[in-house]
Amino acid sequence: MRTVLYILFTFISTVSYGQISGTDSDKADLLIDNFQNHIDSTNQLTNGAKIFYISDTLFKGMILTLKNGEKIELDLRYKDNFRGYTELGADFENYVLVKHRGDGSGNPEQLRVINKKTGEDKWLGNYPFYIDKENEIGVYKAYTDSSSQIVVHDFSTDETKTYPTPDTKCLCCECFEITQFDNESFTIKFIDPQDNETELKVKRKK
């Protein structure tokens, strides 16, 4: 299994908590510490995990709690801040996939993955453009120190296989689409540099 190193660009992927001014940081900490008194709604996930949607007069946010009692901030922002968003992407048996988009229309959705058992928290790349919820597989674009790769990630085993990123004219979002996916191969559709819609069949690595 090859390790995918994702270079996290701060201006894209910094969670909204970093956008809170220093003068309000104590108030933000107070809300997080006492979030159970400010719950608007909840979302029960598998394996004992739960998302709390919270707010007070100044902030709104999302808190993830795990079966082991760990508390993880998914999002915290001013109530009038509608730039970007954070939302639940997929609920797998051992992982929570979180979709995050920072400020700016040209920023792709980012993938944050949290291990429900250990609380390990990683940013892996762009949010998957293909998810097989039944088999807990996601396909997404990730970045190395010099290029990018297409990653097929089996979250049931945490095994990843990487493939070259097709050369595409697309610069930002919704650049790829999976039109066929099975145990032997997958087909990816994209716009090539000559502006032609192209489909490429890729044999899956074993």
Under 8 Å between Cβ of 185 and 205: no
Q: What is the pLDDT of residue 172?
A: 84
User: pLDDT confidence of 19, banded at 50, 70, 90?
Assistant: confident
Under 8 Å between Cβ of 168 and 195: no
Q: Give the single-character DSSP code of 57.
A: S
| CA gap 4, 110 in Å, rounded | 15
| CA gap 200, 150 in Å, rounded | 13
pTM: 0.87
Where is average pLDDT lowest: 16-25, 40-49, 88-97, 184-193?
16-25
- Which residue shows structure tokens 């998914």? 74
**What digits encode the pLDDT tens for the residues 132-150?**
999 999 999 999 888 899 9
Q: Which helix (H) or strand (E) holds 13?
A: helix 10-13
Q: State whether residue 6 is helix, strand or coil.
A: coil
| CA gap 133, 127 in Å, rounded | 14
Q: What is the pLDDT of residue 105?
A: 65
